[in-house]
A and B are shown apart, each in its own frame.
Chain A
């Protein structure tokens, strides 16, 4: 590929040079021995005419090469005019070498001309040599060329051509020799220049450019007085052809440089890309299949061989061999249930809340203007929904009846729900809830981490306000009698909690109200004893332990205590309460 591209690039340069309207064009001399090229692509699939033309060109190329480079290594002797191959005028056009002697004197003139042309044109530099150390720029800007102008190989090749004749200024030569090398510029082998390439033998060419590259004749430097003469006639036959082609095409208006890359070359690249694709595809699929199998292995193995030792914290599985932490942090089955339960309750509460909102909405619709029938209808609606909520909240998996609303009460939203529901409930239902709260007060209080219990206070107080004396006593009994705790402990716990204390106060206050109201109480047996008992116990508790600030301090409490206790204790209580 390198060879073909270079070949074409050379023709491009020629065209380019012409485009730029310079006085000279470079003379690219790629040593080619057409016959030794392993260039099968061009030969296949061409008709005989083209083959004939190619063959002729090859002939010309051979001649040209021999003429140009010759077989002797001596640069100093002028090139022999006798060609090893006799030229038959019929087969090929007059070979350039014959014309060469004529051009020999012309070259220096041309060089001088070139230099002359360069001189005046570029004398009028802008003096910004530092900025324009780029000859491509300079060419446009007409700045002064500098020795450091190595940006364009074209310029320097021209330089080199000129300077080569004078055999001086090794340094300039060094910098450009590298760039120009591939174009086949000849360097005198006796140059003491470190970067001058060794004469490239065919073997070296093979190593450098690959097995399929052309094997040129050795790079021998032509003599210094060899002609790099008139470029047009001195052209390599292939270049001549391309040039004429281009000129012809240009007149036609189409892109004269198109199809420099032949179809064969394109197909070659496509073939390579396909191979690359295949490789990538295979690699990717291989990797993904590997991943899949490893995943499968992981999944199947973990399902079967989870090993749980009785009483241990964690469980052992294949996966835990690779990540031990997971074994320890294995979730306990019971805990999972609790979390699950909590979520269930929460979702239930959410749903019931919506119903509650509907209830409240319906309640608001009951205006004084509405008729009785409407009222009744709305009321009925409300009741239905309220009952629904109540039954839902009551529903509990466990059999013991005393813990019905507790799960709901453990969730703060549940408490809010109950608080808003209580006003709508029938008395029995409301009292039931009160009972539940009273009997489970320690549990309820301990679970109230967010301190939402106070929302329940007002509705409960309203409920308490409707209690009869017996009912009140019952509640008080519930409050003070718990399974695990003694009365004192219950009371002390209650006193430590805002809600508990306030609830207690509310109960006592109501009792006092009842007692002092003069309404016939209809007490049951033992009510009064319980009552007085509780009073004394409460008084004892209140005077001893530290009290929290209650939500509301009923005014008739002191009166209550006065009735039962001595003055001293009352005073103490008073000070404590405040």
Chain B
């Protein structure tokens, strides 16, 4: 692949350069956080983090660690830029989204620094495409200040159990209420829609439950329209960790295994809907 080794632009090495044999490893993860077009890319020596936010209430992060890439180099301590996620995804999947066995799109990314576009080289079956996507000044990101020491309740579930529940959520309900408790109903998802209320209960001894650490009964409501996009991440994942802290902030962490068996994480943070703090 001689094309890959040519540095583009100036003689200096790019601020960020990475190559991936299978672009799907990246596009799949990015799709899991694609509920807004504006995404902030934050690259360090450890890997890439892509963040998407909405309504100052929800934030999703996709983590692609350096080990996933075949080549990965970051010149400074960190490189940050903002990019249109729709366009980035369209380019990554420019050869089509259907995954034929054996064929994959190879990717090389270069970013020369502030003001430069993100350059993507994509190759499949000998055909090469070059995409240059303009980057923007990164906006300030929310800091949910969610740290593990403040976690009150934590549950790890196999995604299989939650997928149906999330896919079938009554969208006429404005909120999704989550109850986590050391007593019954243990873990309950509730909606209050036009037809009436609906509850899905997961007992602590269910086969789906990998870990159940609930110390306090907590019930919090979150805007369902904000959480619904997390269904995409749930669909790709094999396990999900659900944590709440004393303020009722919700952290959903999804463990996603790619085609090569490598594990990546996607995380959603959501702040609770006002007014309701305690169990009904």
**Is B a genuine binding partner of A?**
no
Residues of B within 8 A of A (CB): none
Residues of A within 8 A of B (CB): none
